[in-house]
Amino acid sequence: MNRNLWLLAVLQGLFLTNNVTFIAINGLVGLSLAPYGWMATVPVMGYVVGGALFTGPVAMAQARLGRRRSFQLGLLVAIASVLLCAYAAAQRHFWGICAGTVLAGFYAANANLYRFTSAELAPAGMKEKAVSLVMAGGLIGAVIGPNLAARTRDMAQAPFVGAYLALAVVAAIALLLLWAIDFPPAPPRSAVRSGRSVRELLRQPVFLVAALAGGLGFGVMNLLMAATPLAMQQCGLPFSDAALVLEWHVIGMFAPGFFTGHLIKRFGTLPVMGVGVALLATCIAIALSGVELPQFLAALLVLGVGWNFVFTGATTLSLTAYAPEEKDRAQAVLNLFVFATLALTSLASGVLVTTRGWTWLNLGSLLPVALVAMGLAWLALRSARPATA
């Protein structure tokens, strides 16, 4: 793997530092400032709603400005958004926090394209491993994110202001590293406007299953992860335990990145995704077995590994379903599926855990897991028929 891919993996890690810190603190900030308890995860939802809203503008920016300038713009917006959150937290302004997280969605929509960019920077025949390696960069976020939240939450007079300010520094470091990456040149405008429409892309079974699996797999992970700090607080566990659980969860999400690409290349995309679905179901079973620290820790760790297999597989699967001139609109659709389910599950996690409890939250997660399993089985059967004939 070349230098560009390693640097891109670091950028992915710094992006996940932002994500993990947001997850660790936004629900708690929301709980302390929201007019009603069930609105605690609205700031978390604002982040992914912003990602969904900005998916189209980001796709246009990528097409017109190219990878480098669009990623730079995303990081500048990231700095502005966390500064707005810091100010709102200091003033104890709930809707200001929500506005800041919606704005941060522009950065999320941009940085979610790092994994696709890795395939463009990879040597021939190494796309699966390149995607997997860049996903593994999220380990940086696993280590830094929870510790950053825990150590900076009380640095300022108002809780968590220090954490938001620290994220501005993280984005500034990413902005500097971005200059060292050699991105491929932007395609000509004529090529950008060619290719199939979104409707035609969605008619392909491979593209449709990749989009649904990526979105629903991410949604299940987010539903359980976003609710975990609130559920642990309800169970009387300290914030340090929640930070530990999130740290191991994100390790589970990204440590497999060092070998998921090898597994996909050896066994195929669909079998690896199938194992991921089984792990998501195992996570739910563990979570339903108890509400002590060991259960939270084991469930979230397994959840992370299951998500990695499903999401890395979905990304790799999608690469076979569109041409280079279609990449901006295809990747925008894939990200829109992700952000739409994230928005729904971010709100649902707060509502369910504060009104119905941890048990019903986990039982509700079984439906999207089953839908992903059925989609993979359907695609596997379609793929087997021509081979049998």
d(CA 269, CA 260): 10
d(CA 368, CA 219): 8
pLDDT at 369: 95
Q: Which residue from 67, 72, 57 is spatially nearest to 336, judged by alpha carbons?
A: 57
- Count of beta carbons in the 10 Å neighbourhood of residue 1: 16
pLDDT at 385: 67
d(CA 206, CA 353): 35
Query: What is the distance between the terminal CA atoms of the chain, rounded to a whole angstrom?
Result: 39
pLDDT at 253: 87
CA 143 to chain centre: 16
pLDDT at 389: 43
Read off the pTM. Answer: 0.77
Contact in structure between 97 and 43 (CB atoms under 8 Å):
yes
Residue 176 makes CB contacts below 8 A (sequence gap 6+) with: none
Residue 178 maps to which CATH number? 1.20.1250.20
Domain count, the chain: 1
d(CA 250, CA 16): 9
Mean pLDDT per block of 10 residues along the chain (389 residues) reads 85 88 80 78 82 89 88 95 92 91 93 87 79 84 77 75 91 92 70 75 92 93 86 84 84 87 90 96 94 92 95 91 87 89 79 82 92 94 66
Contact in structure between 47 and 101 (CB atoms under 8 Å):
yes
pLDDT at 190: 55
Contact in structure between 195 and 331 (CB atoms under 8 Å):
no
Range of the domain at 269: 3-388
Contact in structure between 213 and 344 (CB atoms under 8 Å):
no
Contact in structure between 183 and 76 (CB atoms under 8 Å):
no
Burial 69-80 (b: 16+ CB within 10 A, else e): ebbbbbbebbbb
Contact in structure between 18 and 170 (CB atoms under 8 Å):
yes
